[in-house]
């Protein structure tokens, strides 16, 4: 009985340690733990900083896609980033008749790859300081790095900074950004 208890206690300690290590590997986002064994949508739904993004993903009909196998890299704008758009823009995009335009905006934040920040930084360096990032939505973002911070510039000249990098997901990675990137007008 004592042997069984000791084995159980050791196993619980090891499992608990693994859980702590897994949590430590991923940064908190929007006050919530981000679990590497959950997909992009499951984790985003827990972030208090991404409620607008989640509502937009639902309105655009992209939930199933972003829950798919991937891999995906998502540059995820915060609620504050959406709030910086001209007044009424988000409400207008969320209207059912604008579903296609909303999907275009959102997919300009998605890349069909699992690109951690170290890989992005290497691509930037290999390309002489600026790397073109083709998105699922057909946009091309310009990635640059300065003093360890990655920025992305859309086709309209809007620049977003990666504020939280390398949030691992079961189907890719999320990089939190501070600006909504837009397709060319």
Predicted local confidence at residue 25, as pLDDT: 77
Q: Is the peptide bond before 157 cis (omega within 30 degrees of 0)?
A: no
3-class SS of residue 39: coil
For 2-177, CATH number out of 3.30.1490.480, 3.40.50.300, 3.40.50.9100, 2.30.180.10 equals 2.30.180.10
- Domains of the chain, residue spans: 2-177
Residue 22 pLDDT greater than 90, yes or no:
no
What CA–CA distance (Å, rounded) separates 99 from 144?
31
3-class SS of residue 59: helix
Predicted local confidence at residue 7, as pLDDT: 38
Core vs surface per residue 93-123: b (16+ CB within 10 A) or e: bbeeebeeebbbbbbbbbbebebbbeebbeb
Residue 13 pLDDT greater than 90, yes or no:
no
Question: For residue 182, which phi and psi values (nearest 5 degrees)?
Answer: -125, 150
133-159 tens-digit pLDDT: 999 999 999 999 999 999 999 999 999
52-111 tens-digit pLDDT: 999 999 999 999 999 999 999 999 999 999 999 999 999 999 999 999 999 999 999 999
What CA–CA distance (Å, rounded) separates 168 from 119?
14
49-63 tens-digit pLDDT: 999 999 999 999 999
């Amino acid at each position: 009985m004592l042997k069984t208890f000791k084995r159980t206690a050791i196993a619980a300690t090891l499992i608990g340690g693994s859980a702590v290590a897994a949590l430590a590997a991923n940064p908190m986002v929007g006050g919530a733990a981000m679990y590497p064994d959950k997909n992009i949508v499951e984790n985003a739904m827990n972030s208090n900083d991404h409620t607008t993004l989640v509502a937009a993903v639902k309105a655009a009909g992209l939930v199933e896609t972003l829950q798919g196998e991937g891999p995906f890299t998502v540059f995820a704008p915060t609620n504050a980033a959406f709030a910086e758009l001209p007044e009424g823009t988000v409400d207008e995009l969320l209207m059912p008749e604008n579903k296609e335009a909303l999907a275009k905006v959102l997919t300009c934040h998605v890349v069909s790859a699992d690109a951690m920040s170290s890989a992005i930084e290497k691509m930037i360096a290999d390309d002489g300081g600026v790397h073109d990032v083709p998105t699922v939505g057909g946009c091309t973002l310009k990635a640059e790095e300065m003093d360890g911070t990655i920025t992305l510039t859309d086709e309209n000249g809007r620049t977003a900074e990666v504020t939280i990098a390398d949030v691992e997901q079961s189907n890719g990675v999320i990089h939190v950004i501070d600006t909504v990137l837009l397709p060319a007008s």
